[in-house]
């Protein structure tokens, strides 16, 4: 059920990302930069350095592209797109359409499209393209053999600087019986060949919520358990509540504050014991999917030989310049960062390259990193949360626009959600924002631009936007801010001016209070 | 035929208040003072409803609906039961560590439904006891015992035991699984909990607890109205049923230049504005038909109505404007906003009375009705049972609007004043 079919799309992906006939090049005497790991951070670092004329080696033990293209963003977004299609078919009558009779789900076709999409995206990251960009690619396990050398597949690569970008992998749940019963993670779930009739998802983070909703829309009975009181615990309450309602509307069976405590197998079923408020109960499922977080990939690197400090939880220890305890070695991406996102990894890699090769002083803390959970509706955030600001004694005002007040959201029938923009009280400075909307991931980018560029809300209010668009919710929030500047004093002053223009006698003009 | 003259506002309110008060007359167990959670046969007691009942009796005395002796007897019966009940870790005890289980058997007074040892519901019960303790000030044996028992029950509560690591109060506890973690983030009806928890002379909440809780507040501009948002309307009412928040401000409200009373008024206007906009085109919503709150609903089902799927809910915490909302209006919650926005609340009641007469049964406002739901017969779906919480908050809020009686009583309760001051409230009647 989880052996990926080796179809032409999968073969095409392998041809791009790890050709079966690949032979590593002979190593150069010395590289300006050796990058370990060819995920988003490693690829960005290697390409960026090579583009600047550096002699670059890139080491990868599996498939180029890392989690993003192989077991993360690309496959999940591909199947989420199909899941949305099925949801739209289901809801066709809400839009004045007709559902095409009995909707049957061809899961094999869903997964074949996913592989086609992966193969298409893989072409951009192929070994051939990397070679053309001047990057020497080595496949094999990288292992530090000293403070300035790495061994890989029988070769020793000597470097001036190195960047470790080995990424992260799914954390292993410690639930008795789970390992024996078997479970899926993001590394294995996309190899499913049949949609499980009953699926238990353990973990209400981004992965768990996204895939719970998608598989539910593919017809699985999905049970989603989360040991926290709300989904996406770092997001704000209202966002998590809307998501919870949306999941329930799709038919996901939700259990919050409910840890899974034991698993056993009965025939071909997995029996999972759950505990909620002290009450123990069991569910019977066909497949278990876990998404409880990610831990850094450190195994086999022999970081001690290079004098690089690390721990199993935080990963490689870096300073704000992404430099490790070995001044010649930097790290980037999931292996060293709290924010484990493709775009954050790429951004950190750019910093690491500049700082490593060109004596740069770019800081990780200066990055404005948005993120998005691609449920339906999507939940996107950038900048600070209100609770963080208040704990830092920063006074905050939030300007909220409900999507049901946005014309385009109404015409699209996509009215669930909101835009919240947090500004420092007494100023127009945007500190952060949360968007919950069907296309929140697209909408958050405008707010990231504003924060990065130091644009305040009045600047956003002045921009003329195409009408009708859902992103105009951001402008509506900015306009709400502008209206708060129309104080009674200003309004009275304007009234006086207009009265004077109309030629009213002074005693009838009123006076500002 | 001569048309009957329209009722005056006071007559209208008197009718609703009296009908609400009668709930506590009708659903009371004279042997232990417990009051049923809802009017349904066999329903257990809710300790929060008992709290509302204890304060409602005082209103009844002042309004001439109950003798002082009868009210005192009811109060004393209730206090004796809670004072002497089983406080232990037994799974069917009445309480533990001074707190009480949310639902109790009406006859035995023991825990039912594996309900939680509830901090907020214990708080509402204590609020009722506190008002009784202040009101019954005579030097009679009965009234002295009321005061002493109310004080003893309050002092017995171990708020420190019920504090989480960060200092904030847990939401509850169960003998089967320990403390509950609902993750209450943001503004809620918990202000009165902190007032009573911080004011305790024996085992109070830590001074930092209130700040830790309010650190999760979010001051929002919605519909051009700036306020501390919470979706369900009842959240803006329950603490105010007992405490007069006019012109007293904690550090958060000082920062924002507002107070919690004004905040509830703004929340009421936002609820009304949401109904006027009626973004999901529910039947009936409008400027005079609003009030989205926690409560009963038609049931958990999805129906296609006029070519649109409508997902209805049963008992749920509905809220506006974020939702969830299924077209269910709570008239009792709307009227309980009376002190904050009297013109809006009265206008809403007159409209509902005129357009949905089936909603008002024997003069009593129901928990909810839903004109969007396709009812079997004429009229709208109306929640069948009367809910003690609805009737209690109506009795108290109408009285606060009419006379300010309950607010004046709690102003004389030293524990509540002390708790508010420890939370950082200043100004107004605390000066």
Please report the number of interchain residue pairs, chain A to chain B, with beta-carbon separation below 8 angstroms: 97
Flag if B220 and A278 touch (Cβ within 8 Å).
no
The pLDDT of residue A512 is 52
Average pLDDT over residues B123-136: 98
| Cβ atoms of residues B338 and B346 within 8 Å | yes
First to last CA, chain A: 75
Tell me the pLDDT band of B124, cut-offs 50, 70 and 90.
very high
CB of B255 within 8 Å of any CB in chain A? yes
Domain boundaries, chain B: 16-430
Within a domain: A104: yes
Q: Which of A204, A247, A400, A436 to probe by mutation at the B interface, max B CB count within 10 Å?
A: A400
Same domain flag for A235 and A246: yes
Last residue of a domain, one of A310, A344, A366: A366
Average pLDDT over residues B303-311: 88
Strand partners, A280: A275
Q: Which of A94, A228, A232, A237 to probe by mutation at the B interface, max B CB count within 10 Å?
A: A237
Average pLDDT over residues A381-388: 95
* Average pLDDT across chain A, whole number: 95
How far is Cα A336 from Cα A295, in angstroms, rounded to an integer? 10
Tally of domains within chain A: 3
Tell me the pLDDT band of A225, cut-offs 50, 70 and 90.
very high
Q: Which of A99, A253, A277, A395 to probe by mutation at the B interface, max B CB count within 10 Å?
A: A277
Shortest CA distance from A425: residue in chain B: B256
Dihedral (CA of A240, A242, A244, A250) sign: negative
CB of B301 within 8 Å of any CB in chain A? no
Last residue of a domain, one of A317, A342, A366: A366
How far is Cα B205 from Cα B187, in angstroms, rounded to an integer? 18
Residues of A in contact with B220 (CB under 8 A): 397-400, 420
Q: Report, in this order, helix, strand and coil percent for chain B, each rounded to 5.
A: 45, 15, 40
Tell me the pLDDT band of B95, cut-offs 50, 70 and 90.
very high
| Cβ atoms of residues B326 and B310 within 8 Å | yes
* CA A174 remoteness from chain centre: 25
The pLDDT of residue A412 is 97
**Domain containing residue A190: CATH number:** 3.50.50.60
| Cβ atoms of residues A161 and A357 within 8 Å | yes
CB of A412 within 8 Å of any CB in chain B? no
* Average pLDDT across chain B, whole number: 95
Facing residue for B215 by CB, picked from A390, A395, A484? A390
The pLDDT of residue A328 is 98
Strand partners, A271: A264, A284
Tell me the pLDDT band of A487, cut-offs 50, 70 and 90.
confident
CB of B216 within 8 Å of any CB in chain A? yes
Within a domain: A392: yes
Dihedral (CA of B368, B371, B373, B375) sign: positive
Average pLDDT over residues B256-284: 97
Same domain flag for A322 and A360: yes
Same domain flag for A326 and A279: no
Half-sphere exposure of B200 (CA within 13 A, CB side): 27
- At residue B158, does pLDDT exceed 70? yes
Residues of A in contact with B102 (CB under 8 A): none
Average pLDDT over residues A342-363: 97
Model confidence pLDDT, tens digit, residues A101-133: 889 999 999 999 999 999 999 999 999 999 999
The pLDDT of residue A497 is 87
CB count, 10 Å around CB of B420? 27
Tell me the pLDDT band of B379, cut-offs 50, 70 and 90.
confident
Model confidence pLDDT, tens digit, residues A229-264: 889 988 988 999 999 999 999 999 999 999 999 999
Within a domain: A510: no
Within a domain: A503: no
Average pLDDT over residues A137-150: 98
CB of B180 within 8 Å of any CB in chain A? yes
- At residue A504, does pLDDT exceed 80? no
CB of B221 within 8 Å of any CB in chain A? yes
Within a domain: A232: yes
CB of B307 within 8 Å of any CB in chain A? yes
The pLDDT of residue A288 is 98
| Cβ atoms of residues A219 and A302 within 8 Å | no
**Domain containing residue A405: CATH number:** 3.30.390.30
Residue with the larger pLDDT of the pair B234 and B216 = B234
Within a domain: A495: no
- At residue A284, does pLDDT exceed 60? yes
CATH 1.50.10.140 fits B16-430, yes or no: yes
Same domain flag for A156 and A111: yes
Facing residue for B323 by CB, picked from A245, A279, A483? A245
What's the gap in Å between the CA of B315 and the closest CA on chain A? 14
Last residue of a domain, one of A319, A347, A366: A366
How far is Cα B40 from Cα A235, in angstroms, rounded to an integer? 39
- Structural domain boundaries, residue A196: 180-292
Same domain flag for A352 and A436: no
The pLDDT of residue B186 is 87
Within a domain: A509: no
Of the ranges A108-112, A308-312, A416-420, B301-305, which one carries the lowest mean pLDDT score? B301-305
Quote the pTM value.
0.93
Average pLDDT over residues B342-354: 97
Phi, psi of A305 (to 5 degrees): -65, -25
- At residue A57, does pLDDT exceed 90? yes
Model confidence pLDDT, tens digit, residues B398-422: 999 999 999 999 999 999 999 999 9
Average pLDDT over residues A406-426: 97
Within a domain: A304: yes
Same domain flag for A120 and A19: yes
Same domain flag for A19 and A118: yes
Facing residue for A275 by CB, picked from B177, B308, B321? B177
Same domain flag for A402 and A436: yes
Model confidence pLDDT, tens digit, residues B279-298: 999 999 999 999 999 999 99
- At residue B372, does pLDDT exceed 70? yes
């Amino acid at each position: 059920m989880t052996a990926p079919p080796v179809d032409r799309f999968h073969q095409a992906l392998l041809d791009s990302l790890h050709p079966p006939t690949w032979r590593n090049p002979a190593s150069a005497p010395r590289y300006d930069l050796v990058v370990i790991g060819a995920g988003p951070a490693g690829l960005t670092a290697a390409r960026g350095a090579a583009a600047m004329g550096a002699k670059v080696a890139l080491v990868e033990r599996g498939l180029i592209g890392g989690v993003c293209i192989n077991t993360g963003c690309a496959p999940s977004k591909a199947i989420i797109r199909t899941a949305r299609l099925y949801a739209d078919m289901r809801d066709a009558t809400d839009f004045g359409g007709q559902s095409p009779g009995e909707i049957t789900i061809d899961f094999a076709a869903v997964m074949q499209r996913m592989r086609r999409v992966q193969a298409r995206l893989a072409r951009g990251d192929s070994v051939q393209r990397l070679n053309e960009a001047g990057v020497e690619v080595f496949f094999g396990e990288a292992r530090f053999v000293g403070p300035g050398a790495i061994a890989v597949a029988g070769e020793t690569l000597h470097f001036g600087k190195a960047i470790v970008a080995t990424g992260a992998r799914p954390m292993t749940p410690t639930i008795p019986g789970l390992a024996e019963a078997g479970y899926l993670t993001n590394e294995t779930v996309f190899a499913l060949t049949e949609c499980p009739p009953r699926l238990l998802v353990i973990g209400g983070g981004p992965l768990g919520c996204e895939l719970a909703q998608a598989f539910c829309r593919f017809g699985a009975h999905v049970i989603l358990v989360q040991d926290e009181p709300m989904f996406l615990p770092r997001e704000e309450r209202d966002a998590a509540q809307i998501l919870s309602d949306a999941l329930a509307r799709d038919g996901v069976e939700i259990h919050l504050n409910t840890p899974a405590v034991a698993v056993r197998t009965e025939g071909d079923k997995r029996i999972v014991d759950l505990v909620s408020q002290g009450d123990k109960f069991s569910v019977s499922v066909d497949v278990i999917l876990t998404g409880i977080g990610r831990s850094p990939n450190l195994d086999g690197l022999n970081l001690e030989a290079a004098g690089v400090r690390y721990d199993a939880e935080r990963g490689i220890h870096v300073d704000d310049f992404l430099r490790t305890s070995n001044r010649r070695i930097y790290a980037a991406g999931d292996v060293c960062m709290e924010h484990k996102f493709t775009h954050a990894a790429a951004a950190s890699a750019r910093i690491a390259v500049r700082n490593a090769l060109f004596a740069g002083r770019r800081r990780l803390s200066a990055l404005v990193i948005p993120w998005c959970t691609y449920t339906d509706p999507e939940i996107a955030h950038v900048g600070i949360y209100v609770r963080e600001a208040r704990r830092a004694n920063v006074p905050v005002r939030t300007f909220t626009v409900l999507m049901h007040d946005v014309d385009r959201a109404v015409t699209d029938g996509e009215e669930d959600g909101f835009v919240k923009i947090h500004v420092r009280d007494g100023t127009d400075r945007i500190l952060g924002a949360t968007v919950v909307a069907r296309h929140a991931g697209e909408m958050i980018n405008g707010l990231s631009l504003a924060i990065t560029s130091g644009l305040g809300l009045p600047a956003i209010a002045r921009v003329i936007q195409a009408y009708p668009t859902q992103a105009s919710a951001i402008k509506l929030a900015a306009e709400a801010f502008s209206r708060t500047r129309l104080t009674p004093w200003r309004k009275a002053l304007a009234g006086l001016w207009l009265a004077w223009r109309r030629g009213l006698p002074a005693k009838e003009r009123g006076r500002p209070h | 035929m001569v048309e009957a003259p329209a009722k005056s506002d006071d007559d209208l309110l008197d009718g609703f208040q009296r009908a609400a008060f009668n709930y506590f007359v009708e659903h009371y167990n004279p042997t232990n003072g417990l009051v049923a959670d809802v009017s349904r046969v066999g329903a257990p007691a809710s300790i929060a409803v008992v709290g509302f009942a204890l304060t409602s009796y005082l209103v009844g005395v002042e309004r001439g609906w109950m003798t002082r002796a009868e009210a005192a007897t009811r109060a004393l019966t209730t206090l004796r039961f809670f004072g002497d009940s089983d406080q232990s870790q037994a799974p069917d005890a009445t309480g533990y560590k001074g707190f009480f289980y949310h639902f109790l058997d009406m006859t035995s007074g023991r825990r039912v439904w594996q309900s939680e040892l509830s901090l907020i519901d214990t708080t509402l019960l204590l609020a009722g006891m506190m008002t009784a303790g202040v009101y019954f000030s005579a030097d009679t044996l009965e009234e002295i015992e009321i005061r002493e028992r109310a004080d003893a029950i309050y002092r017995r509560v171990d708020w420190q035991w019920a504090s989480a690591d960060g200092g904030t109060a847990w939401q509850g506890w169960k003998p089967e699984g320990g403390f509950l973690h609902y993750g209450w983030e943001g503004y809620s009806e918990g202000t009165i909990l902190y007032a009573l928890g911080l004011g305790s002379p024996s085992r109070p909440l830590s001074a930092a607890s209130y700040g830790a809780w309010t650190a999760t507040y979010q001051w929002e501009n919605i519909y051009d109205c700036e306020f501390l948002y919470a979706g369900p309307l009842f959240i803006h009412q329950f603490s105010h049923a007992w405490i007069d928040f006019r012109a007293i401000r904690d550090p958060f409200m000082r920062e924002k230049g507002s107070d919690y009373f004004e905040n509830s008024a703004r929340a009421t206007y936002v609820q009304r504005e949401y109904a006027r906009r009626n973004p999901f085109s529910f039947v009936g919503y409008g400027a005079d038909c609003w009030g989205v709150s926690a409560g009963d609903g038609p049931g958990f089902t999805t129906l296609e109505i006029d070519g649109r799927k409508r997902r209805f809910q049963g008992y749920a915490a509905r809220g506006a404007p974020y939702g969830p909302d299924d077209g269910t209006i709570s008239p009792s919650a709307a009227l309980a906003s009376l002190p904050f926005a009297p013109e809006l609340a009265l206008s809403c009641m007159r409209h509902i009375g005129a357009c949905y007469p089936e909603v008002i049964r024997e003069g009593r406002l129901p928990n909810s009705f839903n004109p969007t739901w396709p009812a079997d017969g004429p009229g709208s779906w109306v929640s069948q049972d009367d809910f003690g919480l609805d009737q209690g908050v109506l009795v108290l809020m109408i009285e606060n609007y009419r006379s300010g009686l309950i607010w004046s009583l709690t102003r004389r309760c030293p524990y509540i004043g002390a708790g508010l001051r420890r939370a950082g409230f200043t100004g107004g009647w605390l000066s």
